[in-house]
Amino acid sequence: MKYSKEEALSLCAKICENTLMDTLDIQFIDITQDSLTAKMPVTPRVHQPDGVLHGGATVALAESVGSAACYLFLDVEKVFVRGIEISANHVKSVASGHVFARATALHVGKTTQLWQIRVTNDQDELVSLVKFTTISLPRN
């Protein structure tokens, strides 16, 4: 990785200003050599009508952390990255607290990348398991 932990987290915060990530109050909190983690508060702003976390908000969190991981771990000076597929299995409801999304690369090829994003609650219980596929395209 070309950034220190502090530089990477600061960069993530900066690129998220005035975006969906800012609207959802997504904060990037940890980075390792092979993963990036973000958290999002679970409040009525991200609830579905029956008072639990909306699956779409969960997927937005997962895609945000997966995309940011691409930005940090791939050479974005030579390529730009776009998400091409995302699927999520939601296994547990959350009504309050935070959810945490940890993106880990399962495959990093020249053209496509496959990310696994585990979304957990404050008790580290699995909430959703997300598969996110990205494509790298050359910058012209």
Question: Active-site residue numbers?
Answer: 63
CA 35 from centre of chain: 10
The Cα–Cα gap between 26 and 41 comes to 8
What are the structure tokens assigned to 26, written together? 């997504």
What are the structure tokens assigned to 88, written together? 């999520």
- 67-101 burial, b at 16+ Cβ within 10 Å, e below that, comes to bbbbbbbbeeeebebeeeebebebeeebeeebbbb
DSSP states of 93-137: ---SEEEEEEEEEEEE-SSEEEEEEEEE-TT--EEEEEEEEEEEE
